[in-house]
Amino acid sequence: MTTPPSPWPPGRIDEIVDRYQRPLLAYAARMNGGDWQGSQDAVQETFLRLCRERPEKIDARIAAWLFSVCRSRVIDMQRTARAMPIDVSQSPMPDPAPDAQTAAIDAEEHVHLDTLMDGLSPRQQEVLRLRMTGRLSYREIADVTGLSVSNVGFHLHEAVRSLRTALAH
């Protein structure tokens, strides 16, 4: 049985994977409590689903579509496995070759920021990750989470305000 030709232009899927693989992995890992295997599975399934979609249907909103599919897949996997709640204390993507001093400083800052993130509501954590890691617009975050654009703005504002207040102390 032969595989039907891809509806995507040659090289376009590779470009999308190159651009979005790391942010999707980071996002999925945070939602998965640092479970790399599950996160990789969710991202792989997201890209497989992308290959089956018609480009004209999603290309204009590719980032929001990818994060939405990935989010749904992680939630489905959590329901199936009865996974633990989001754990933001795990570092999803360590720098592959930092020097010892830089690594120590980065780790300390990352742990501090993760600790501060624990003080945010799960919704604030999610919209902040989508904005910072995924670089999604408010509209795209709204598409992914099902919130209104103004509600996304509210959650982002409150998350940043809370982090600033915590950092000031």
pLDDT tens for the chain, 169 residues: list them.
Answer: 566 667 888 899 899 999 999 999 999 998 888 888 889 999 999 998 998 888 888 878 899 999 999 999 998 888 877 544 545 445 455 445 556 666 555 566 667 677 888 889 999 998 988 888 788 888 889 998 999 989 998 998 898 888 888 877 7
Report d(CA 11, CA 26) in Å as an integer.
24
Please report the pLDDT score of residue 10 as a whole number.
Answer: 86
Please report the pLDDT score of residue 82 as a whole number.
Answer: 59
DSSP letter at 126 equals H
Please report the pLDDT score of residue 67 as a whole number.
Answer: 94
Cβ neighbours of residue 102 under 8 Å, at least 6 residues apart? 95
Domain extents for the chain? 1-87, 97-169
CATH architecture of the domain with residue range 97-169? Orthogonal Bundle (1.10)
Contact 13, 51 (CB under 8 A): yes
Kindly report whether the global pTM for this prediction surpasses the value 0.75: no
User: Comparing 1-87 with 97-169, is the CATH topology the same?
Assistant: no
Report d(CA 122, CA 85) in Å as an integer.
9
CATH of span 1-87:
1.10.1740
